[in-house]
Structure 1
Amino acid sequence: MPEPIDFYFDYSSPYGYVAAHLIEPLAQRHIREVTWHPILLGPAMKLSGNTPMAGQPLKGAYMRQDVPRLCRRYRLPFTWPEPFPVATVAAVRATIWVGDRDPALAVRFAKALYRAYFGDGRNIGETEQVLAVAAETGLDAAALAAALQDPALKDRTRAAVDAALKLGVFGSPFFLVDEEPFWGVDRLPLMDEWLARGGW
């Protein structure tokens, strides 16, 4: 089997939300699995000198028009959540904890968190909302709540973010295909062609 596609995403990224619905059908066309990597973009932005697009003049306004248009195109439920963006530390830690135990369930959980935020407008920056989504996904919310207080999980999350930075990940969504990087949901057609042709 070919190596999986590595999918890096931040839960505050609306483009990551769109990519989360598109990456698996693309991978299946090429007989690939997808490895989901929740990350925190704050350290990457600090390293690269970038700032959240929502707060940037011109770009922020464009994003406000572009994301709903993308979601209409792909028939994805969408609402601009308030507040936006949010700190997603609890969501990332929770997803990593689930993924260490059941990767397939972690993917379902990740999709549910994205849907809760960008589909339903729920503030997943709040730990209580993360735990509520976990319960709705069939997870043991009490066990997860306890795990979120564990220093070992905090260290595990920090190590995952550091590992992504070392690989050159700086945005969301970000993909690695056989060590070839692709940044942005708009690069999915290019990645599709790359896989079909074996690169160029």
Structure 2
Amino acid sequence: MKHITFYLDFISPYAYLAFETLPEALMGQSYSVSYKPVLFAALLKHHGQLGPAEIPGKREWTYRHVLWLAHQHGLELQLPAQHPFNPIGLLRLALACSESGLPNRYVCETIFRHVWQGGADAADADRLQTLTGQLAPKRDANEELVKTQLRAHTDDAIAKGVFGVPTFEVDGKLFWGLDALPMLKAYLQGNAWFNSAWAATDQVRSWP
């Protein structure tokens, strides 16, 4: 059985869509999943990039694209009242629901739907308080250990070469984005393409 580490941030609509479609996309495969929340903004800062929602034109396209993808997959998705927003409260809440800092699927599902269903303000303090009551975390989301675990998850992602969310890591290989799910499935199936073609990119020189 292969193990997948799913790097995610609740701020990302693509991470939400990947989370919702993962079971169907990998149906029939033998695998386990660890959900590892990270701070997407820290990944962007490390790699010197702006997020899609910070770039005029790309921002509007991203929202239209994810609404179309949700429609295509038959999923509920309403854009939150404000985006981007500060996701740290939600990320810490997710980690606080587990001693290990690795939330289960129910916790991630509940938080993702808090953000991407209903069209409300995802970071609203009253809504966050209600969500906290619903999830009944094992720890205080503001305790120092939770904050440290979030930084550690993010540092771990950066060290492994993760540059965006969603990213799926299996056997040291990174699969980025919702549209990488068919490729991930092929790897889990043992597709022979990965024996040679995966490493071919290492031979390509960068410019200048």
Q: TM-score scaled by structure 2?
A: 0.84
Aligned partner of 1:111: which letter?
Answer: E
Aligned partner of 1:114: which letter?
Answer: F
Q: Determine the structure 2 residue equivalent to 1:10.
A: 9
Q: Tell me how far 1:28 sits from its aligned partner.
A: 4.6
* 2:87 is the counterpart of 1:91: no
Q: Determine the structure 2 residue equivalent to 1:194.
A: 187
Q: Secondary structure of 1:110's partner?
A: helix
User: Which one has a bigger Cα radius of gyration?
Assistant: 2
**What is the identity percentage for the equivalent residue pairs of Structure 1 and Structure 2?**
24
Query: Alignment RMSD, CA only?
Result: 2.1
Q: Tell me how far 1:193 sits from its aligned partner.
A: 1.8
Higher helix share: 1
Distance 1:28 1:117 in 2: 26
Specify which of 167, 172, 180 is matched with residue 179 of structure 1.
172
Distance 2:26 2:116 in 1: 23
Specify which of 122, 125, 130 is matched with residue 124 of structure 1.
122
* 2:48 is the counterpart of 1:55: no
Q: Secondary structure of 1:4's partner?
A: strand
Distance 2:74 2:91 in 1: 26
Stretch deviating more after TM superposition (120-129 or 89-98): 120-129
Q: Determine the structure 1 residue equivalent to 2:205.
A: none
Q: Secondary structure of 1:6's partner?
A: strand
Q: Determine the structure 1 residue equivalent to 2:202.
A: none
Q: Secondary structure of 2:189's partner?
A: helix
| Contiguous gaps of at least 5 residues in structure 1 | none
* Preserved contact between residue 39 and residue 161 of structure 1 (Cα < 8 Å): yes
Aligned partner of 2:83: which letter?
Answer: F
* Preserved contact between residue 88 and residue 125 of structure 1 (Cα < 8 Å): yes
How many residues get paired?
193
Q: Secondary structure of 1:19's partner?
A: helix
Stretch deviating more after TM superposition (33-42 or 186-195): 186-195
Q: Tell me how far 1:150 sits from its aligned partner.
A: 1.3
Distance 1:111 1:59 in 2: 27
| Contiguous gaps of at least 5 residues in structure 2 | 196-208
1:102 to 1:183, Cα distance in 2 relative to 1, 3 A:
closer
Q: TM-score scaled by structure 1?
A: 0.87
Specify which of 127, 136, 141 is matched with residue 140 of structure 1.
136
Distance 1:100 1:195 in 2: 29
Aligned partner of 1:39: which letter?
Answer: V
Aligned partner of 2:85: which letter?
Answer: V
* Preserved contact between residue 54 and residue 60 of structure 1 (Cα < 8 Å): yes
Structure 1's consecutive aligned runs of 4 or more residues displaced over 6 angstroms after TM superposition are none
Q: Determine the structure 2 residue equivalent to 1:109.
A: 107
Aligned partner of 1:162: which letter?
Answer: D
Q: Tell me how far 1:164 sits from its aligned partner.
A: 1.3
Aligned partner of 1:169: which letter?
Answer: V
Equivalent runs, 1:20-39 vs 2, <5 Å: 20-39=19-38
1:24 to 1:99, Cα distance in 2 relative to 1, 3 A:
farther
1:135 to 1:47, Cα distance in 2 relative to 1, 3 A:
same
